[in-house]
Amino acid sequence: MMNEPAEINEFSALLRARVPLILIETHEEPRILKLLTQASSLENQLMMRWSIVDGLGRVAGTGGGTGQFAASANGDHGKAIYQTNELIDCLRHIDKSSQNGVYVLCDAHPGFKDAVAVRLIREIAMDHASCARTLVFVSPVLEDVPSELLRLAGHFKPKLPTRDDIRSVVVSEAQLYHTQNGDKVRGDRRTVDLLIMHLLGLEFEDVRRLVRQALRADGEINQDDIRRILTIKHRALGGEGVLGFEESSFKFDAIGGLVRMKHWVALRQKPFLDPKTAALDRPRGILLLGVMGGGKSLAARAVAGEWNIPLMRLDFGAMYNKFYGESERNLRAALAAAEGMAPCVLWIDELEKGLGGNGGEQDGGVSRRILGTFLTWLSERSNAAKPVFIVATANDISTLPPELIRKGRFDEIFFVDFPNTAAREQIFTIHLKKRGFDPAAFDLAALAANASSFSGAEIEQAVIAAIFEAAARDGEHALTSTDVLHELERTRPLSVVMAERIGKLRAWAHDRAVLADDLHD
């Protein structure tokens, strides 16, 4: 693994700096223990490992150890010291011992809630100057470390595999499959590249396990493997609940109109997915403002479908929590999970409901803190390393705080108006085809002309209602243009019902946003 020498050097530097506590949050305990063993050997330091199952024991090959505590060089230990299985007993033994060295404590994080354990850890750490005993905590979860220990601690972050590392894993597993089964692994280069891209952000052992599962299933790397990997990755990153994962099969040809927005997105696909092809910053995202039912949510899905990347939906409703600070923590966790799924589209539907400025002090300041957390992430995120393309939608711009929509937050603000004539013909075609009708059998020009100022959603509902009426009348789906025209006549579109509000929205967007489609009729 290409990262190992760098990781060994990084940990060795922490040992040489005489950091008393080192925190390592990882699921890759065997790999990390092997690295720590190698680093301890290079620094000629004794390494001891503790777990609640095995107790405290010496790791072979470190600090000139003798055969009394013989063990493998993978971080395993041999004979344990008597009565050290409990964390408190282990810490008391270390505290009383004059033996310098590296003491690796595996899954000791529950002890951070024990006042006695915390005090013992502090005493060992504060005595580091006279007795160099370094405590290393290795655990999948290190969230509740007391502040008094954090002041004394250094952090070691294991490197994640690069594209080249993942490709090496795929090649080695494919060779192993060929050796064992006699068949070569099937799969085109584009699918393999997609697999590698979506495995980014996972740890080495997860990568190897998922690649092996994909190959052993049918000897082929295909889209089913990619979907399964994305689902597992989302679950592993803890994004369930607040951050939903949706498979998007939508393409732009399933949406009528929005010509300018589609063109804008198409131009930025390659720079977003492969920044080496252009000396440009990766695109950051867009805000789609406009009338309800205009296709904003479908557009968000279609961006992910066109770019063939995961669609992550941020649910503000599931984020809010009655306990102080929990809502912000939920948001930070969701945004971190989105970065873990990168490259991806982060869809924030009806942005004004989650980040609108009407909360004030009525909700205890939660809305303001959520907004601050989100703005900080927008400003500080590294889109080069973890590309997340935001597609936010809004129906009411008046409630959004100005600091959220200023230039630089989003690459562009598009205004989605009612579809023009050409777009309405496309929308009728899409919805008639979707329900098994031949659009050529309908007078699309007449339908489009009579649906002026109808939204895409209203056009769809008119088609559906006409199908029901025709079926009830004739006992079969003998739908005609006349049936659809009758439904259009009976419909009072949003452009009439909420004319004043839509007029204000258009007036705001006139000089402040880019039209998502060509000029209105």
CATH number of the domain within which 485 lies: 1.10.8.60
Q: Do 412 and 281 share a domain, yes or no? A: yes
Q: Could you tell me if residue 463 is inside a domain?
A: yes
Alpha-helical regions (H) of 284-325 = 296-307, 316-319
Q: Could you tell me if residue 505 is inside a domain?
A: no
Q: Do 191 and 272 share a domain, yes or no? A: no
Mean pLDDT, range 428-451, rounded to an integer: 93
Q: Which residues contact 518 (CB under 8 A, 6 or more apart)?
A: 259, 260, 420, 422
Confidence (pLDDT) at 214: 86
- The pLDDT confidence band at residue 201, using thresholds 50, 70 and 90, is confident
The closest alpha carbon to 136, from 156, 118, 159, 151, belongs to 156
Q: Could you tell me if residue 301 is inside a domain?
A: yes
Confidence (pLDDT) at 88: 96
The closest alpha carbon to 77, from 98, 47, 118, belongs to 47
Q: Do 67 and 200 share a domain, yes or no? A: no
Q: What percent of the chain has pLDDT over 90?
A: 40
Domain total in the chain: 4
| CATH number of 394's domain | 3.40.50.300
Q: How many CB atoms lie within 10 A of CB 5?
A: 11
What the block records as the tokens of 150 is 């954090």
Residue whose structure tokens are 């601050």: 372
Backbone φ and ψ for 223, nearest 5 degrees, come out as -65, -30
What the block records as the tokens of 195 is 């697999």
Mean pLDDT, range 487-492, rounded to an integer: 92
The closest alpha carbon to 62, from 79, 81, 37, belongs to 37
Mean pLDDT for the chain overall: 85
Q: How far apart are alpha carbons 367 and 354 in whole angstroms?
A: 8
The closest alpha carbon to 368, from 342, 392, 401, 326, belongs to 401
Alpha carbon separation from 144 to 108, 114, 329, 488 (Å, rounded): 12, 11, 13, 60
Residue ending a domain, among 155, 173, 208, is 155
Confidence (pLDDT) at 71: 39
Between the two ends of the chain, the Cα-to-Cα distance in Å is 60
Q: Could you tell me if residue 517 is inside a domain?
A: no
- The pLDDT confidence band at residue 55, using thresholds 50, 70 and 90, is very high
Q: Do 339 and 369 share a domain, yes or no? A: yes
Lowest mean pLDDT among 74-78, 110-114, 337-341, 376-380: 74-78
User: Which is higher by pLDDT, 247 or 132?
Assistant: 132
Residue count of the chain, please give it: 521
Q: Do 99 and 176 share a domain, yes or no? A: no
Q: How far apart are alpha carbons 419 and 257 in whole angstroms?
A: 6
Q: Which of the given ranges, 154-158, 246-250, 256-260, 334-338, has the highest pLDDT on average?
A: 256-260
Confidence (pLDDT) at 333: 82
Orientation of helix 204-218 relative to helix 223-236, angle to 10°: 150
Residue ending a domain, among 236, 263, 292, is 236
Q: Do 212 and 350 share a domain, yes or no? A: no
| CATH number of 218's domain | 1.10.8
Residue ending a domain, among 205, 236, 267, is 236
Q: How far apart are alpha carbons 199 and 167 in whole angstroms?
A: 10
SS3 97: coil
Q: Do 227 and 260 share a domain, yes or no? A: no
Q: Tell me the Cα Rg of the chain.
A: 29
Q: How far apart are alpha carbons 260 and 195 in whole angstroms?
A: 31
Q: Could you tell me if residue 292 is inside a domain?
A: yes
Determine contact, residues 296/241, Cβ cutoff 8 Å: no
Q: Could you tell me if residue 476 is inside a domain?
A: yes
Lowest mean pLDDT among 26-40, 64-78, 131-145: 64-78
Q: Do 442 and 480 share a domain, yes or no? A: yes
Q: Do 409 and 470 share a domain, yes or no? A: no
Q: How far apart are alpha carbons 58 and 35 in whole angstroms?
A: 16
SS3 135: strand
Q: Do 404 and 429 share a domain, yes or no? A: no
Q: Do 322 and 402 share a domain, yes or no? A: yes
Determine contact, residues 416/516, Cβ cutoff 8 Å: yes
| CATH number of 141's domain | 3.40.50
Q: Could you tell me if residue 515 is inside a domain?
A: no
pLDDT at 37 over 80: yes
Q: How far apart are alpha carbons 188 and 164 in whole angstroms?
A: 18
Structure confidence by residue, pLDDT tens digits, 396-424: 888 888 888 888 889 999 999 999 999 99
Q: Do 397 and 313 share a domain, yes or no? A: yes
Q: Could you tell me if residue 186 is inside a domain?
A: yes
Confidence (pLDDT) at 324: 57
SS3 77: strand
Domain carrying residue 370: 246-416
Q: Which residues contact 196 (CB under 8 A, 6 or more apart)?
A: 163, 166, 167, 170
